[in-house]
Amino acid sequence: MVQSAKPTANTWCPGCGDFGVLAAAKKALVDLKIPPHEAVLVGGIGCSGGIHNFIDVNGVHALHGRLLAQAIGLKLSNPQLTVIAAGGDGDGYAIGMGHFMHAFKKNASILYIVMNNETYGLTKGQASPTSRLGFEGNIEVPFDAILTALSIPTGAFVARTFSGDPKTMTAVLSEALQFNRDHRGYAFVEDLSPCVTYNDTFKEWREKIVNIEKLPGYDPTDRSAVFRLCTETMNAGKIPVGVMHRPGKPSDAASNPLELKLLPDMVGPARADIALEHNLPAYQKLLATAG
Amino acid sequence: MTTPATQTPSQAVEAVPAQRRTPQEISDVSVIVGGQGGDGTLTVVDLLGRYFRKRGLYVYTSRNTLSRIRGGHADASVRACRDSRAAIKAKADLLLAFDQEAIDVVRADLDPGALVLYDSTSFKADYPNSLGFPFATLVGGQLGQPIYKNTAAYGAIAVLMGFDDAVVRQVIEERFKRRGPEALDKNLKALELGRQAALAVPAAVNRWSLAEGDAHDLILTTGNQATALGFVVGGGRFFAGYPITPATEIMEYLMRYLPAYHGVVRQGEDELASINMVIGAATTGTRAMTSTSGPGLSLMTEGIGHAGTAELGILVADCQRVGPSTGQPTRHEQSDLAHLAHLGHGEFPKFILSPGSAEDCFYMTVDALNLAEKWRLPVLLLLDQALCQNASTVPAFDLSKVKVERPSLLTADQVAKQAEYKYYAFSPTGISPFAPVGTPGVTSQITGNEHDEWGHVSVNPVNRNKMMEKRMGKLIQARDELPRPRYFGHKEARIGLIGYGSTSGPILEAMDVLDAEGIVTKYLQARTLFPVQEESLGPFFDSVDLAFVVEHNYTGQLARLLREEMPRYHAKLRSILKYDGFSFRAPDIAGPIREAVHGTKR
């Protein structure tokens, strides 16, 4: 057994919502029997982005807002890997917003977990893209990632979970990771993960969350029906959680996972044999096409 | 509907002496073809290029040398020469114009003895030495479609230049056979129409007699294509980029090339995504690259710094164009060096390599991939618009000169034999042998935070010092492996020139011009710009009285970098600068040197 990087001591505040995500991710990886070397956790910048330090898999600490691009590059280069990107709402919905939108289009089979605490915790409590009106003087309308995700017509798996309900979260993350491992495309999970220091919403959120799966008319293959249930729930002052989109079957027209198209043989760039002597005839043919 | 052919005279419009003249021997000819976008200017240049190559001549073609957007004007030029010349000829000998604007735009670039051949269908040329044929009407009347006018014009040029008929025809056959029998037939007919029209005018026949050359078995390629080919052969398997002139063709070539080799090309939503996808790919041990130009490079800067400190080997090609901001996207400049040499916030090691020809682009891209992976840092391939997009004849790429070396990479078997595996292990060279993410039995922590050997975040000052010294020390450790300069000219010369990238072509031509006047020079073609190669530059500076630094920018960025790193040579350096968006031509370089020499003598 070769000794390599081990998880470090956790640095989050006691009671932080992110502990729920960490525990659920660990359990899901164990349940799916994914060996540590085959899994990569790409962390963003912010408290939540340090999550890759606290779990026994490969860890990549990305630049602020760029975790999705790095995770997609990883996955497309080695499609055998299980790739999780995990960061906060500032990282994903502010500085990383461009990539947030395009990750749905790119549809690589990675899981993106956003730990939404409605604040910038690490820089001590400024308003974030999801902060409600009035929080720390916020005068901007809060962004809703689920409504946005539902409006993008792809075959992505979409869900919202709550750190106060680790059991459901583990089930959702397991399903999302299995979805990825079946190369069915992109999975996005927003976890409501309160910041106990700067925006402690545990109690409030526990009271406000509504499991959308229990509402009449719920159909996770019907994005417009779910969109409507979400807006109705929000209009009633509540917060919808649950699986928001689950494409019917892999052959759905909207489900066109990138790696199956790009990498039909699943060798991928990382495992390609680049030794010159093994490629000579092909290279000679290629060079003959020049000029 | 009547075709225009019945309404327009099909006779030649002449403004040249009517009698037959003795053919002028020419061994270096430049032809410009200009008109509106869609006139097929590139087709004519392509046909001429093919002909010249069959006659054993070196060829250099350029486009974008003039505005392509304004008024829809487009032009391209082709130079054919018995000597290898990777530069635009000082003055053109022949202009084929499809409208008056084409004449007006290039008027100053025409040789006093130049001829303007033009399509007289719709205008009469305002130029003293001109010859018009109604190409569009000729082919429109006979073939029903005026679009073959460019092939007819090629036929007329063939007569003017005394081309070999069989080879002229062969070029058409090769170019159009893939378009089907009808297209080939019509082009052959258009060719004949153009030829016959010209043959009917005595003054047009055999005005020039083009020398034959012995440059055979060459390929005609651009720096962008050569870079893309070098990337594949060098084991590059992942590319992400965002469209930007003049870098886009690298991505487009790789979209064609890479899938056959298990490679992936993705167009990012922006340059931030592109550089970070490349970084992600690099963590898996994949050789990965992006290409961009100034504006994109600005956006990628944070990512390049991240690769430097996270110790990920990546390749970034910067195809320089006129900046800052949007600048002149299709025009030529070398104004990113100052930015690159001092790239990013914080300090990290990187190599800046600069190939001096399309041929060099191919081999240096392979070297750059080897260096990036071995030394685990970002390598910047500094190109420029002229190098990227102008096509030149170069020797076919030779795979026996290529090596793919992976000394820093640990295989699963090698890792399994170790007691421990640290992604950032200290070592005498600063290189930590690495196992790509996914290697069985080990995990890695990869971060842009300052870290210890395990990749864990560290603010320990002793560790910080050691890590900085490990990373920055690579700049010294790697010195002997970086591409060395190439030397040209007279060893004993007391006048030196220094340049990089596409300036090599005009510099070498200027040296020949000066040589003929008795001014002997020598040239150091810089191929590694950072770290500055004092071990090569010092002796070169010591051996000359004056060193002219030739570059395309306002502030003399290379000269400033040399002064900064080697201040003792401050007084010897002179700058020859050009920042109007056009490439140097030989007189632009020969002129200031001639002045300096004669000034010294007085």
How many whole angstroms from its chain centre is CA B466? Answer: 40
Q: Which domain holds residue A264?
A: 18-288
CATH number, domain of A253, equals: 3.40.50.970
Range name among B137-146, B174-183, B260-269, B550-559 with the lowest pLDDT average: B137-146
3-state DSSP helix/strand/coil % of chain B, to nearest 5: 45, 20, 35
CA of B311 vs chain A CAs: smallest distance (Å): 12
Residue B282 has pLDDT above 80, yes or no: yes
Report CA dihedral (B548, B554, B555, B557) to the nearest 10 degrees.
-70
pLDDT tens by residue, B348-378: 999 999 999 999 999 999 999 999 999 999 9
8 Å CB contact of B420 and A3: yes
HEC letters along B453-522:
CCCCECCCHHHHHHHHHHHHCHHHHCHHHCCCCEEEECCCCCEEEEECHHHHHHHHHHHHHHHHCCCCCE
Strand arrangement of the beta sheet that strand B486-489 belongs to = B486-489, B522-525, B495-499, B546-551, B573-577
CB neighbours of residue A175 within 10 Å: 17
The C-alpha atoms of residue A53 and residue A36 are separated, in whole angstroms, by 13
CATH architecture of residue range(s) B4-210: 3-Layer(aba) Sandwich (3.40)
> What pLDDT is stored for residue B12 in this prediction?
64
The SS3 assignment for B29 reads strand
Which of A74, A275, A286 lies at the smallest CB-CB distance from B284? A74
Of B277, B312, B348, which to mutate for an interface test with A (greatest number of A Cβ within 10 Å)? B277
Question: Does A246 reach chain B within 8 Å, measured CB to CB?
Answer: no
Query: Is A235 part of the contact surface with chain B (CB cutoff 8 Å)?
Result: no
DSSP character at residue B217: S
Domain count, chain A: 1
What is the band of B14 on the pLDDT scale with cuts at 50, 70, 90?
low
Q: Is residue A278 part of a domain?
A: yes
- At B40 the pLDDT is 82
- The CA-based angle B135-B136-B137, given to 5 degrees, is 95
What is the number of other CB atoms lying within 10 angstroms of the CB of residue A162?
A: 24
Say whether pLDDT at B557 is over 90. Answer: yes
Asked whether the predicted pLDDT for residue B184 surpasses 50, the reply is: yes
**Closest-approach residue (CA) in chain B for A98:** B269
- Taking residues B321-325, what's their average pLDDT? 96
Fold assignment, B484-601: Rossmann fold (3.40.50)
Is A8 within the bounds of a domain?
no
Q: Which CATH class is domain B220-401?
A: alpha beta
Cα–Cα distance for residue pair B116/B124, rounded to 1 Å: 11
Instruction: Give the Å distances, CA to CA, from B357 to A51, A287, B252, B502.
Output: 47, 17, 20, 6
Three-state SS for A210?
strand
Residue A84's nearest CA partner among A59, A116, A50, A56 is A59
Q: Are B538 and B566 in contact (CB under 8 A)?
A: yes
What gap in Å lies between CA B11 and CA B133, rounded to an integer?
Answer: 7
Q: Smallest Cβ distance to A269: which of B221, B286, B447?
A: B286
Q: What is the per-residue pLDDT across B245-268, written as a single tens digit (0 to 9) for each?
A: 999 999 999 999 999 999 999 999
Q: Which of A65, A66, A270 sits opposite B284 (nearest CB)?
A: A270
**Domain boundaries defined on chain B:** 4-210, 220-401, 484-601
- Mean pLDDT rounded to a whole number for chain B: 93
Give the list of residues 6+ apart from residue B77 with CB closer than 8 angstroms, or none.
B30, B31, B32, B33, B45, B61, B62, B63, B65, B88, B92
pLDDT in tens, B154-167: 999 999 999 999 99
B435-461 mean pLDDT: 97
The answer to whether position A12 is within a domain reads: no
Min distance B233 CA to chain A CA atoms (Å) = 7
Q: What is the pTM of this model?
A: 0.95
The answer to whether position A262 is within a domain reads: yes
Q: Reduced to 3 states, what is the DSSP secondary structure of residue B228?
A: helix
Q: How confident is the model at residue B381 (pLDDT cuts 50, 70, 90)?
A: very high
Query: Would you say the CATH fold of B484-601 matches that of B220-401?
Result: yes
Residue B3 in this model has a pLDDT that exceeds 60: no
Q: pLDDT tens for chain A, 291 residues: list them.
A: 899 999 999 999 999 999 999 999 999 999 999 999 999 999 999 999 999 999 999 999 999 999 999 999 999 999 999 999 999 999 999 999 999 999 999 999 999 999 999 999 999 999 999 999 999 999 999 999 999 999 998 889 999 999 999 999 999 999 999 999 999 999 999 999 999 999 999 999 999 999 999 999 999 999 999 999 999 999 999 999 999 999 886 555 455 677 877 887 888 999 999 999 999 999 999 999 997
So what's the pLDDT on residue B6? 35
Distance CA A61, CA A77 (A): 18
The pLDDT score that the predictor gives to residue A250 is 56
Which residues contact residue B580 at a Cβ distance below 8 angstroms, ignoring those fewer than 6 apart? Answer: none
- Residue A172 within any structural domain of the chain: yes
Question: Which pLDDT score, from 0 to 100, does residue B8 have?
Answer: 39
pLDDT for residue A261: 78
Q: At B88, is the pLDDT very low, low, confident or very high (cuts 50, 70, 90)?
A: very high
Is A61 within the bounds of a domain?
A: yes
